[in-house]
Amino acid sequence: MFFIGICGTGFSQTVGNGNVPEHIILNLTENPSESVAVTWRTKDAVAQKLQWAEVTDSPVLANDRQVIAANSSTITYIDGDVPPLMLTNHSAVIRDLEPGSRYLYRVGAETTWSEWIEFETAGLASDPITFIYFGDVQANIKSQWSRVIRKAFSTAPDVDFLYYAGDLINHTHSEEEWKQWFEAGSFIHASIPSMMTPGNHEYDSTALDNHWRAQFTLPENGPDMDLLSETVYYVDYQDLRMISIDADMMDESPEAAVETRNWLAKVLEETNKTWTILTLHYPFYSTKANRDNVELRENIQPLIEKYGVDMVLTGHDHAYGRGREKVESMTRPGEISGPVYVVSVSGPKLYGVSDQSWMSRKGGNTQFFQLISINQNKLNYKAYTASGEIYDEFDLVKRKGRTNKLIEKIPDTPERLYTR
């Protein structure tokens, strides 16, 4: 949790009244089979608690409730000529849970409790996994992004977690934009755990948006460097290792880039999970001809190829691209190795897409969300448009002693190649 905040763009001061909890969100912990993190905020600096219980078909009785006192920090948001806004963020981690089990929780105190909210822990290593991946949200969040997260939820209401590839908002420190992000996600954020990696719009130079560590409680298992706390981390979700690295901080700080690379090599080498997905904001390969992240490829790509990362999920380019750099296997000539790279966007700020050789499927001027499902040795990927149309699909199959096999299932619909 972060203790003091300074914001920098215009925002509304309309927040919840007094002690009423708002902006409630679940985050994945390092071990999501046994724990979950909950964060919320109140207008007043008041003591808060979290109560939780196992799910039953009856009302939650007083004797059934476990109680956790919240960790709290008061934050002052300053925004130009607008009077300072002081809020208090609260967090608690529910521990010692059973894998694949459903629980209820609520947050608050006395007469200002939230509703009881249901969630489910991760299961056993062999259990199926499903999660939704969102590219940049960024602009017109409540007005034109809310329908995307709601369509994603209606398409797959039982997903295990949500993943955000950065640029959740447009203006660093914007209270109004974060308020819209939480309103758009509403009960979805409160009942389905999220993990997220920051984008360049969460930064003002090397200063991370003060909302980030105040309103999210993310794993702190990254490099021993405060600049990377709760932005570089990993989550072991059953038989999947999800790794977040902070692309913008790597770009801004040579020291952070070295620390991240050394840490990434370690967590890739030591994992025994069948599947590994790397997440970051900047793409290795762009959807636009005039964008190219050469340093990212030079510093990180040799590691992900060496250790067999399966997919790389990114944002930033405000268009859709999915493909596989044609790296020939060093051990089996003629076979293609290396991860599947994806660039996507979920918000309404959209760019055109150019014809790049690495892409097997591309799309411009379209809002997307992606549903990724893993069942033992097979990963299924579907990209949906904002209206729920399947735009792209493939299977990635693990083969013992060989490279992954990619099976295309692209729908027979034309690519959206709109260019502004």
Comparing CA positions, the residue from 9, 38, 352 lying closest to residue 180 is 9
Comparing CA positions, the residue from 113, 117, 159, 111 lying closest to residue 134 is 159
Which CATH number applies to 129-408? Answer: 3.60.21.10
Cβ neighbours of 191 (radius 10 Å)? 17
Which residue carries 């200002």 as its tokens?
112
CA angle 302, 304, 305 (to 5 degrees): 65
Distance CA 91, CA 215 (A): 8
Which residue carries 């914007």 as its tokens?
174
Question: What is the pLDDT at residue 393?
Answer: 98
Class of domain 22-120: mainly beta
Q: How many Å separate Cα 96 from the centre of its chain?
A: 24
Q: How far apart are the first and last CA of the chain?
A: 41
Comparing CA positions, the residue from 182, 193, 135 lying closest to residue 159 is 193
Specify the domain boundaries for CATH 2.60.40.380 within the chain: 22-120
401 burial (CB, 10 Å; 0-12 / 13-18 / 19+) is exposed
Distance CA 331, CA 316 (A): 34
SS3 content of the chain, % helix, strand, coil (to 5): 20, 35, 45
Distance CA 321, CA 233 (A): 25
Residues 6+ apart with CB under 8 A from 204: 8, 172, 173
Question: What is the pLDDT at residue 15?
Answer: 44
* Positive or negative: CA dihedral 60, 62, 64, 70: positive
Token representation of residue 277: 């997905």
Q: Could you tell me if 369 and 151 are in contact, meaning their C-beta atoms sit under 8 angstroms apart?
A: yes
CA dihedral 140, 142, 148, 150 (to 10 degrees): 180
Question: What is the pLDDT at residue 10?
Answer: 37
Question: What is the pLDDT at residue 363?
Answer: 95
Q: What is the pLDDT of residues 181-205, one digit of tens each?
A: 999 999 999 999 999 999 999 999 8
Question: What is the pLDDT at residue 4?
Answer: 36
Token representation of residue 381: 């990927």
Q: Could you tell me if 98 and 345 are in contact, meaning their C-beta atoms sit under 8 angstroms apart?
A: no
H or E element that contains 147: helix 146-155
Q: Could you tell me if 270 and 280 are in contact, meaning their C-beta atoms sit under 8 angstroms apart?
A: no
Which residue carries 């299932």 as its tokens?
409
| Single-letter amino acid code for the residue at 410 | I
Q: What is the mean pLDDT of each run of 10 residues along the chain (420 residues)?
A: 38 55 97 98 94 96 95 84 85 98 96 96 97 98 98 98 98 93 98 98 92 96 96 98 97 96 98 98 92 91 95 97 76 74 97 90 96 98 98 96 93 77
Comparing CA positions, the residue from 142, 199, 139, 210 lying closest to residue 173 is 210
Token representation of residue 127: 């259990």
DSSP secondary structure letters along 256-310:
HHHHHHHHHHHHHHH---SEEEEE-SS-SS-SSTT---HHHHHHHHHHHHHTT--
Distance CA 202, CA 166 (A): 8
Q: Is 61 helix (H, G, I), strand (E, B) or coil?
A: coil
Specify the domain boundaries for CATH 3.60.21.10 within the chain: 129-408
Q: Could you tell me if 278 and 339 are in contact, meaning their C-beta atoms sit under 8 angstroms apart?
A: yes
Question: What is the pLDDT at residue 52?
Answer: 98
Q: Write the DSSP symbol of residue 136.
A: B
Percent of the residues in the chain that have a pLDDT greater than 70, as a whole number: 92
Distance CA 217, CA 102 (A): 20
